Amino acid sequence: MAKETNFLTEFPTLPVELIRAFKKTTDASYKAFSREYGDYIESFFNPLLKFLVFWEKLLVGTPWPIIIGVVCVFAFYGTRSYKIVIGIIISFFFVGYMGMWNDMMESMGFIIVATIMAIAFGIPLGIWMAKSNRAQAIITPILDFMQTLPPFVYLIPVVMLLGIGKIPGLISVIVYAIPPMIRLTNLGIREVDHEILEAADSFGATPWQKLTQVQFPLALPTIFAGVNQTIMMALAMVIIASMIGVKGLGQEVLRAITNQYFTLGMLNGLAIVILAIVFDRISQAYGKRIQKHRSGDAI
């Protein structure tokens, strides 16, 4: 009787030694792998590092009035709204005046590079997923896994492999931010009206002509929603990635947490919110411009 209660209240586990051995061997073999191939992998990512450094230098090195001017031109071309442009000028001045300009530029460069990489890999993967049901069956659970796994957990293997620094940070941000890009590209292409595809077929279009002339352009508004989501996720991850050595606003937030500097944390947090709003408004505006032909008015 006593034995049974024991069985029910305490979950039957593997012997402690066995679990320890399992963890040890797995970690050891992974460490051995990273010791063996770590340098090789690092040099593989070297071009990416150069690309990232180029952007950071460009943004930090360019005089601030030019940066504000360029962002405003982009914003105005997308939104055609003076309110948003004035809002951007005021908030960027606030960030700069509070001494966070360089940090914000570093974060901005980081996000731009992460977004470009996510688009470059996400769109082809999304197209492949839309074209093949088998690809969809394989990729969907991987994306689910990537999106639900706590981001702190996949920092660990990246750090073990590549150490602390910009590249492991960038990789973890891309991995975290790419799922919506892939998903929404897939969705956008699969949503294209069946009859329009049939029309393209009836004129003898090749698969490539169908993709470039019909499917991709019609999926573009959905794909742009994916770009927007990816930027937002990259912004969120930039803070977490500061734990493994990514500089910028996130590093200051991390410093504020470890030292309990409330004001420092708030200010940098605010700067991140400003960056998020600017990116969001501009990318959404471009998404809407693409859909202009869909409205019936403007005759």
- Using CB under 8 A, list all residues that contact another protein: 193, 195-196, 198-206, 209, 213-214, 217-218, 220, 293-299
Taking the complex as a whole, how short is the minimal distance between the CB of residue 201 and another protein, in angstroms? 6
Toward another protein, which CB reaches closer, 2 or 298?
Answer: 298
- The DSSP code for 191 is T
Toward another protein, which CB reaches closer, 39 or 191?
Answer: 191
Contacts of 237 (CB under 8 A, 6+ apart): 151, 172, 173, 176, 177
Taking the complex as a whole, how short is the minimal distance between the CB of residue 200 and another protein, in angstroms? 8
Toward another protein, which CB reaches closer, 17 or 195?
Answer: 195
Toward another protein, which CB reaches closer, 208 or 262?
Answer: 208
Taking the complex as a whole, how short is the minimal distance between the CB of residue 217 and another protein, in angstroms? 5
Distance CA 192, CA 219 (A): 7
Toward another protein, which CB reaches closer, 52 or 219?
Answer: 219
- CA angle 273-277-278, nearest 5°? 120
Taking the complex as a whole, how short is the minimal distance between the CB of residue 66 and another protein, in angstroms? 35
Taking the complex as a whole, how short is the minimal distance between the CB of residue 194 and another protein, in angstroms? 9
Contacts of 242 (CB under 8 A, 6+ apart): 169, 248, 250, 251, 253, 254
Taking the complex as a whole, how short is the minimal distance between the CB of residue 135 and another protein, in angstroms? 21
Toward another protein, which CB reaches closer, 83 or 293?
Answer: 293
Give buried/exposed letters for 30-54 (b at 16+ CB in 10 A, else e). eeeebeeeeeeebeebeebbeebee
Q: What would the DSSP string read from start to end of 59-123?
A: HHHS-HHHHHHHHHHHHHHHH--HHHHHHHHHHHHHHHHTT-HHHHHHHHHHHHHHHHHHHHHHH
Distance CA 181, CA 273 (A): 22
Residue for token pair 């029910």: 8
Q: What would the DSSP string read from start to end of 212-225?
A: IIIIHHHHHHHHHH
Distance CA 41, CA 283 (A): 33
Taking the complex as a whole, how short is the minimal distance between the CB of residue 140 and another protein, in angstroms? 24
Toward another protein, which CB reaches closer, 215 or 242?
Answer: 215
Toward another protein, which CB reaches closer, 36 or 193?
Answer: 193
Taking the complex as a whole, how short is the minimal distance between the CB of residue 291 and another protein, in angstroms? 9
